[in-house]
Structure 1
Amino acid sequence: MTAVSGQDRTLGNRAASATLWGGVNMALGRIVQFATTIIVARMIAPEHFGALAVAIVVQTIATNMAELGATAALARGTGDPDKIAPTVFSIALVTSGVMTAAAIALAPALATAFDDPAATPVIQVLSLTILLQGAGAVPSTMVWREFLQKPRVVVDLCSLVTVLVLVVPMALDGWGAMALAWSRVGGQLVALAGYWIITPKRYAPGFDRTVAAEILRLGMPLAMANLVVFVTLNVDYLLIGRMLDPTALGLYLLAFNLAGLPSSVITAVIRATAVPTFGRLFSEGTLGVLAARFVTGVSYGAFPISAMVIALAHPLIVTAYGGAWAPAGMALATLGVFGATRILVELFADLSVGAGKTGWLFWVQVAWLAALTPALLAGITWWGIAGAGIAHAAVACLVVIPLYVTSLTSVLHTSAWQLLRGSVRPLAAAAVAGACVWMATQGIANPAMALACGLLIGSVLYGLLTFRQGKELVAEIRGLLRSTASGPSPAGIPGSPVQP
């Protein structure tokens, strides 16, 4: 068997190690990010979060279109990076520059479309991160491709600390939403420098027409799918901004971010290794066999967290951010359901990219947007910001997940039951635990006490209800970690070693 860069390590060993360090990275990162949000939320008014929400919508859409999905060809780990990377660099740099200039020029019109003219300078400042991400597209993707999650911990933590160091004095000085925007620019600069330092090999821009055609064949559907999915995940901001007011938008942004915290942590840990691992497994013909195990593991960790967010929405909001943000509690409760489904959706999307089926991915996102827009209009009209969460959850459960399952069962040659059966027990146990926690904390007046008691009750109850399944999952994880520590082993993800 062929060694990899002098190291006799299988794909399973490398993926397990990278996932472990990815988890450490996300845990540290989210702690710092959560602390930053708490600090800032207590220093600025909710309407400033509304202006930031508008800017983030624009920045996110532009960022995910900026490199036209070109990094997917590099990330999958199945091609020669020396041949692919220079062309990817050129595409990312040119398109991100165009997107940055367009966002700055169109900022007044975009802010007006969201009915928040105060967001104009915030959009313009935050647009600078689009260019910075384009400049760092290749080194960050090489770090991802080569499973270099251990040094990435240092880079990402330095970036987050930079944001915290910048945002607090700016917010205290009365900068409002601009404090949030400029601090993100500073953090992105630090991340760019860090990825260039730790990347295994540095590439200069170049261009190969044949390579570009192949890159765009895979990447363009993914870029379009990313565009649609981010419009989908941000159309609620547009509708709330126009149908309600900036304060409601700020409350909703806080609730959406908090509800999405579990999904963002779990999906970020998965994404530390998902696409390059899934791409290699698919090329070996083993992805279909292992997909159900990924779904089971993700469901076991995701569902109880979302259940606790739903059951403890009000005490969680008040304890973390203060009484001024209490109206966001209803939105947080309804968005908690969407947070759980979003984790599965993100995993299914990564499985699709790993299998190279980016065209179908695009059409799933189109169907998602088409179903969500009228659902949001109805939900916001009837129930305000809480109705937006109801709309998200209903469409994800009734439209998006069934479409993904239909696609994946065909591509991976498995059945829907085989793919999803491992998630049934965690779902039922999380629902029971969440209901018991909600009932047990209704009589506790102190929000912090309710939060602490609820988390304790929910954790114990979920652990008891899923004890056998949890024991099996822990045994699998220990096996992977032992194989990682001891070098080559038949345990872990099957397949031949990664080629140089």
Structure 2
Amino acid sequence: MSTQGKTSLGHRAASATVWGGVNMVLGRVVQFATTIIVARMIAPEHFGALAVAVVVQTIATNMAELGATASLARGNGDPERIAPTVFTIALATSGILTAAAVFLAPSVAMAFDDPAATPVIQVLSLTILLQGFSAVPSTMVWREFMQRPRVVVDVCSVVTVLVLVVPMALDGWGAMALAWSRVGGQLVSLTGYWIITPKRFRPGFDRSVAAEVLKLGMPLAMANLVVFVTLNVDYLLVGRMLDPTALGLYLLAFNLAGLPSSVITAVIRATAVPTFGRLYAEGQLGALVGQIVGGVCYLAFPISALVVGLANPLIVSAYGVAWAPAAAALATLGVFGAARILVELFADISVGAGRTTWLFWVQVAWLAVLFPALFFAIGQWGIAGAGLAHALVACLVVIPMYLKILTSVLGIGVLELMRGCIIPFLAATAAGLLAWLVAAGVDSPFGALLLGGSLGAMVYAGLTFRRGRRLIHTLRSLLRDSSPLLVSEPAKEVTP
């Protein structure tokens, strides 16, 4: 096949990443606005009930297709052969998990010491079944870098949530307003993916294909289960050791601290696994991964640093004085937010390289260390201690484990992998410290947020000017389709 008509992998990935960024920004802005509006309409304990339901939903949805979509997403196999079997697996498992969530909802709610969460869990479990129907269409959109049409689908979904939740909250539905609005948003998302998918597949089953995709997917599904337990065990402990109000405050702080990481990782994930899978198959991932990690750190570190430095004015300005106690947790969770971005990037690299078994064991070790750390820290320092435990375990245990694995798999050194993070880390630390000092001298929360954030951002931009300019130049080159990386025929599968 001649180079004419081929599409550069760099160009496709960069273009999809840009559109993924647009998607995330629009979606998160609407989501953030929705949270602010609803927080002023319902009590903190209703957020606690939602937190319990979200624990169940996130664990179940990440187990719903047993990781089978990973084989479809990596771009190394034939979708005509793989997709029907993946569709059947997704439908069967999502149906079973939905029924289990509905039946076990009372027991789960009692485990969290929040019986009011029972109907919220049952309603929100409907999204598990809906995601089973959208598993293959959404993965095909992901595989083919179709982020531009995906913007329309995802924005329509979050707008639907806003349109539904406000009148329900005003009518006194409480946590059920949050649950039913999410079901409505998921239904819109399902419809949209079926419309834009490049090819529609019917359910089917091939035993050899099922064995192949589950060999890669099962460790990933188990890793997803463990990581979501890891990221939600704090809700269980806060709810049991403190009270529903503290849980509501902590949920708000965790979501706000995780907003930068969720946006950045969602943008990266728009292209990560398909891109990393192709690069690994071509033997080029090791040479490029240091640049990728450095670019992500450049974007992630200053945002998290400013969240830490401006925790109190950020909470009070956005949600009101009643939510001010959440600032103590936000300050420590901001550090975890930056670490989580790196952790999720490393996980995507592991999936792209086909090392899902190693990924599973990292998550197991993470959970094993985090649980006692959370138990001790929450007992000592309340919701602030939960954030501190998350940050310390991620930085001192999880990231070093990933570095050990990735340097071995990719054949590079730690310094080669992480060199690009040093300057962003130092500059972000300086920016966050300056923002905190400035905010401490301003009485108005909004004024402190505006002045501290502006000066902190200016300091970071000045200290990293040359690096930022190089990053922009690289992105422009990729968008002009000047990358030498070409995608032609599907690459041969690399056996993990």
TM-score, length basis structure 2: 0.98
User: Residue 78 of structure 1 aligns to a residue in which SS?
Assistant: coil
Q: Tell me the equivalent position of 2:356.
A: 358
Within the candidate set 381, 388, 391, 1:390 is matched to: 388
Deviations 1:393-442 (A, max 9, x none): 00000000000000000111100110001001000110011111111111
Distance of aligned partners of 1:122 and 1:284 in 2 relative to their CA distance in 1, 3 Å threshold? same
The one-letter code sitting in structure 2 at the alignment partner of 1:497 is: S
Deviations 1:355-399 (A, max 9, x none): 000000000000000010000001100000000000000000000
Within the candidate set 448, 451, 454, 1:456 is matched to: 454
Aligned equivalents of 1:397, 1:157: Cα separation in 2 = 34
Aligned equivalents of 2:72, 2:133: Cα separation in 1 = 15
Aligned equivalents of 2:2, 2:369: Cα separation in 1 = 49
Answer yes or no: is 1:497 the counterpart of 2:461.
no
Deviations 1:45-93 (A, max 9, x none): 0000000000000010011111100000100000000000000000000
Aligned equivalents of 1:18, 1:432: Cα separation in 2 = 32
The one-letter code sitting in structure 2 at the alignment partner of 1:469 is: R
Answer yes or no: is 1:319 the counterpart of 2:310.
no
The one-letter code sitting in structure 1 at the alignment partner of 2:124 is: L
Within the candidate set 432, 435, 439, 1:434 is matched to: 432
Q: Tell me the equivalent position of 2:116.
A: 118
The one-letter code sitting in structure 2 at the alignment partner of 1:190 is: V
Aligned equivalents of 2:262, 2:2: Cα separation in 1 = 36
Within the candidate set 271, 275, 281, 2:273 is matched to: 275
Aligned equivalents of 2:246, 2:10: Cα separation in 1 = 46
Distance of aligned partners of 1:260 and 1:59 in 2 relative to their CA distance in 1, 3 Å threshold? same
* Contact 1:171-1:179 within 8 A present in 2 as well: yes
User: Residue 285 of structure 1 aligns to a residue in which SS?
Assistant: coil
Answer yes or no: is 1:80 the counterpart of 2:102.
no
- The Cα of 1:480 is off from its aligned counterpart by 1.3
Q: Tell me the equivalent position of 1:206.
A: 204
The one-letter code sitting in structure 2 at the alignment partner of 1:178 is: M
Aligned equivalents of 2:475, 2:100: Cα separation in 1 = 47
Aligned equivalents of 1:109, 1:87: Cα separation in 2 = 33
Aligned equivalents of 2:6, 2:76: Cα separation in 1 = 19
Q: Give the share of equivalent positions with the same residue, in percent.
A: 74
Deviates more, 1:10-19 or 1:240-249: 10-19
- The Cα of 1:40 is off from its aligned counterpart by 0.3
* Contact 1:11-1:497 within 8 A present in 2 as well: no
Q: Cα RMSD (Å) of the superposition?
A: 1.1
Aligned equivalents of 2:313, 2:209: Cα separation in 1 = 54
1:28-47 map, 5 Å: 28-47=26-45
User: Residue 128 of structure 2 aligns to a residue in which SS?
Assistant: helix
Aligned equivalents of 2:324, 2:376: Cα separation in 1 = 24
Aligned equivalents of 1:306, 1:294: Cα separation in 2 = 19
1:85-484 map, 5 Å: 85-483=83-481
User: Residue 106 of structure 1 aligns to a residue in which SS?
Assistant: helix
* Contact 1:86-1:206 within 8 A present in 2 as well: yes
* Contact 1:22-1:272 within 8 A present in 2 as well: yes
The one-letter code sitting in structure 2 at the alignment partner of 1:298 is: V
1:4-43 map, 5 Å: 7-43=5-41
Aligned equivalents of 1:121, 1:2: Cα separation in 2 = 59
Q: Tell me the equivalent position of 2:494.
A: none
- The Cα of 1:8 is off from its aligned counterpart by 2.9
* Contact 2:239-2:247 within 8 A present in 1 as well: yes
Aligned equivalents of 1:233, 1:81: Cα separation in 2 = 32
- The Cα of 1:2 is off from its aligned counterpart by 4.8
The one-letter code sitting in structure 1 at the alignment partner of 2:239 is: G
Aligned equivalents of 2:136, 2:486: Cα separation in 1 = 27
- The Cα of 1:493 is off from its aligned counterpart by 6.0
Q: Tell me the equivalent position of 1:486.
A: none
Aligned equivalents of 1:227, 1:373: Cα separation in 2 = 15
Aligned equivalents of 2:212, 2:484: Cα separation in 1 = 29
Aligned equivalents of 1:36, 1:400: Cα separation in 2 = 33
* Contact 2:7-2:487 within 8 A present in 1 as well: no
Aligned equivalents of 1:438, 1:79: Cα separation in 2 = 50
User: Residue 232 of structure 2 aligns to a residue in which SS?
Assistant: helix
- The Cα of 1:470 is off from its aligned counterpart by 1.3
Aligned equivalents of 1:230, 1:441: Cα separation in 2 = 35
- The Cα of 1:492 is off from its aligned counterpart by 2.7
Aligned equivalents of 2:295, 2:489: Cα separation in 1 = 24
